[in-house]
Structure 1
Amino acid sequence: MDIIGIGYLGFESTKLDEWRSYGPEVLGFQIGKSPEADAESLYFRIDDRRHRFAFHPGKVDRLAYIGWEARGKLEFEAAARRLREAGIEVTMGDAALRELRGVRDVFRFRDPVGYQHELFYGQKWMPRSFVPGRPHGGFVAGERGLGHLVVITPEFPPELEHFLTEVMGFHYYGAGAGKGKTAFYRSRLNDSTSHDIAYGHGPGKMGIQHVGLFVKNLRDVGETYDIVKQRKLPMMMTLGQHTQDPHVSFYHFSPGGFAIEVITELEPWHPDGFELNPEQLSTWGHELVGPILGPSVRTPEDVQDAEGLEVLAALARKRAAA
């Protein structure tokens, strides 16, 4: 599939008031205009797109959907055909959903462990319209998507890897230096990073572990780091540099219970084309000062909707019958 990367993310939240101040004041997000049909939700901008993050009122704090961006109309239609040919149910978005997402067209589908995905093309934008919520040099998005996402899956079946590599057409970038079963994947059109999404195996657990946001310079990382410390926000990892990527970053916990990794690249991504096997996670820093799995990772029953739980149940029935 000709996918650029993650175009937007949607969450359900019990803490909209906290996000309303945290987004602009800590991260530098701009509060966007909410659609008339979704006035109670909170929309954030990090560039000239209409929005990149949406937080909808909910009974729990959870990841609601992952929005992938197709290059254009023809690629969008080809992707829908590919999913259907693979036996995956595709639900085309109606005019109401297109308006909420601000896109030309969109459809929805599930991965083999139940996470809700969307694919769209043609999101609305206005050049030079992004105004950060505080003094900030800006975010790196556009041609590579908004950043990356790491989710936890209670099962790691062969169907999941087949779905990501053979159906979605993602490049498999290995497990990195992490412990346990983890897999990094990047979209076919993105050769600027090691991963757009990663799945980590957490038996009996599910939910979003962290979101990686790229900023344009080291100063933005450092200023955000200072704000996080001044506000005494919970930290996961201190400032450091990864081995696998030319990234300097730190991790702290958001109001949603998942971590935000604020990242800048010291040098361009190395287009190696092969799987690296680093001996350690980072070359310096990244001291672990908090839990790897925050309160956003719980049981599937806590963070999944009924349709997602049925996908997991069907997977369990299939494994039992094998």
Structure 2
Amino acid sequence: MDIIGIGYLGFESPNLEAWREYAPQVLGLGLGNTPPGDPGSLYLRSDDRRHRIAFHPGPVDRIAYIGWEARGRQAFDAAVARFRDAGVALEVGNAALCETRGVRELVRFRCPAGYRHELFYAQKWTPRSFVPGRPHGGFVADERGVGHIVLMTPDYGPELEAFFIDLMGFHWYGAGAGKGRTGFFRAKLNDKTSHDIAFGHAPGMKGVQHIGLFVRSLRDLGETYDIVHKRELPMQMTLGQHSQDPHVSFYHFSPSGFAVECIHELQPWHHDGFELNPEQLSVWGHEQVGPILGPSVMPLVQYPDD
């Protein structure tokens, strides 16, 4: 499947008002216009797309859907046919849903971990329209997508990897330096970063561990780091550089209980030609000062069915 990466993310949360202040004033994201069909939600921008992240009212903090961007209509049609041939249950988005997402067409489906995904093409955009929520040099998104997401699943079997690798055509990046069963995947057309989505095995638990957002300059990363410290927001890991990625980043917890990794690329990703097995997570920094799993990763009995 000719998939670029994550085009948008949708969350449910009872903390929309906290995000309305936190997203622009801490992260520097822009506030987007709320579609007429979804007046109670919050839409956020990181580039010239109509939106990249949406928060919808809900009883608990959780991921509602992950939107994958197909290169165009032909790639979308080919992917839909492949899903159907594989027996994947698809829900075709109606005109109202497509207008809310700002896309031409979409289909909805679930992965073996139970998370809802959407495949779309042609998201609305307006050139030179992005305005950050505070003085900020902008985000690395555009044709690359919003960033990455790491999810926890109570069941990590071979069918999960087969779904993303064999069916969706993602590249297997490896298990990384994390403990336990983990897997990192990047979309077929992503040649800029190591992963778009990753899963970790957490028996009896489910939820978002963190999302990653890329900023254009080291200054933007440093200023965000200072804002997080001045506000005394809870940290997960301090500033550091991962072993497998030539990027510098830090992790702090959002109002929804999952961590946000703010990232700046020190140099282009090096395209590993083989699977690495790093002995440590980072070459410097990234001191763990908070829990690895925030409250957004919850016991299955607390995770609402939908």
TM-score of the pair, normalised by structure 2? 0.99
Q: For residues 273 and 56 of structure 1, what CA distance do their matches in structure 2 show?
A: 40
Q: Which residue of 2 aligns with 1:319?
A: none
Q: For residues 116 and 92 of structure 2, what CA distance do their matches in structure 1 show?
A: 13
Q: Is the 8 A contact 1:61 1:303 kept in 2?
A: no
Q: Which residue of 1 aligns with 2:29?
A: 29
Pairing 1:212–2:205 present: no
User: Shift of residue 232 of structure 1?
Assistant: 0.4
Q: For residues 158 and 175 of structure 1, what CA distance do their matches in structure 2 show?
A: 14
User: Shift of residue 88 of structure 1?
Assistant: 0.6
What does 1:122-133 correspond to in 2, within 5 Å? 122-133=122-133
Q: For residues 303 and 102 of structure 1, what CA distance do their matches in structure 2 show?
A: 28
Q: Which residue of 2 aligns with 1:109?
A: 109
Question: Gapped runs of 5+ residues in structure 2?
Answer: none
Q: For residues 297 and 140 of structure 2, what CA distance do their matches in structure 1 show?
A: 27
Q: Secondary structure at the match of 1:185?
A: strand
Q: Secondary structure at the match of 1:50?
A: coil
What does 1:79-98 correspond to in 2, within 5 Å? 79-98=79-98
Q: Which residue of 2 aligns with 1:53?
A: 53
Greater helix share, structure number: 1
Q: For residues 121 and 301 of structure 1, what CA distance do their matches in structure 2 show?
A: 35
Q: For residues 273 and 304 of structure 1, what CA distance do their matches in structure 2 show?
A: 41
Q: Would you say how many aligned residue pairs link Structure 1 and Structure 2?
A: 306
User: Shift of residue 86 of structure 1?
Assistant: 1.1
Q: Which residue of 2 aligns with 1:285?
A: 285
Q: Secondary structure at the match of 2:209?
A: strand
Q: Which residue of 1 aligns with 2:194?
A: 194
Q: For residues 118 and 75 of structure 2, what CA distance do their matches in structure 1 show?
A: 14
Alpha-carbon spacing, 1:153–1:84, altered in 2? closer, same or farther (3 Å): same
Q: For residues 304 and 170 of structure 1, what CA distance do their matches in structure 2 show?
A: 29
Q: For residues 244 and 263 of structure 2, what CA distance do their matches in structure 1 show?
A: 13
Deviation per CA, 1:265-293, whole angstroms, max 9, x where unpaired?
11111123321211110000000000000
Q: Which residue of 2 aligns with 1:169?
A: 169
Q: For residues 303 and 156 of structure 2, what CA distance do their matches in structure 1 show?
A: 18
Q: For residues 299 and 39 of structure 2, what CA distance do their matches in structure 1 show?
A: 30
Q: Which residue of 2 aligns with 1:250?
A: 250
Identity %: 69
Pairing 1:11–2:21 present: no
Q: For residues 113 and 131 of structure 2, what CA distance do their matches in structure 1 show?
A: 38
User: Shift of residue 303 of structure 1?
Assistant: 2.8
The residue identity in structure 2 corresponding to 1:220 is D
The residue identity in structure 2 corresponding to 1:63 is I
Q: Secondary structure at the match of 1:36?
A: coil
User: Shift of residue 304 of structure 1?
Assistant: 4.2
Q: Secondary structure at the match of 1:241?
A: strand
Q: For residues 254 and 26 of structure 2, what CA distance do their matches in structure 1 show?
A: 10
Task: Give the superposed CA RMSD.
Answer: 0.8
Q: Secondary structure at the match of 1:190?
A: coil
User: Shift of residue 143 of structure 1?
Assistant: 2.1
Deviation per CA, 1:45-103, whole angstroms, max 9, x where unpaired?
00000000000011111110000000000000111111111111011100010011000
Q: For residues 304 and 140 of structure 1, what CA distance do their matches in structure 2 show?
A: 33
Q: For residues 132 and 299 of structure 1, what CA distance do their matches in structure 2 show?
A: 36
Of 80-89 and 234-243, the range deviating more from structure 2: 80-89
Q: For residues 301 and 7 of structure 2, what CA distance do their matches in structure 1 show?
A: 27
Q: For residues 177 and 112 of structure 1, what CA distance do their matches in structure 2 show?
A: 24
Q: Secondary structure at the match of 2:174?
A: coil
Q: Is the 8 A contact 1:24 1:134 kept in 2?
A: yes
Q: For residues 161 and 302 of structure 2, what CA distance do their matches in structure 1 show?
A: 24
Question: Gapped runs of 5+ residues in structure 1?
Answer: 307-322
Of 119-128 and 272-281, the range deviating more from structure 2: 272-281
Q: For residues 36 and 10 of structure 1, what CA distance do their matches in structure 2 show?
A: 17
Q: Secondary structure at the match of 1:54?
A: strand
Pairing 1:231–2:231 present: yes
Q: For residues 264 and 12 of structure 1, what CA distance do their matches in structure 2 show?
A: 27
Q: Which residue of 2 aligns with 1:311?
A: none
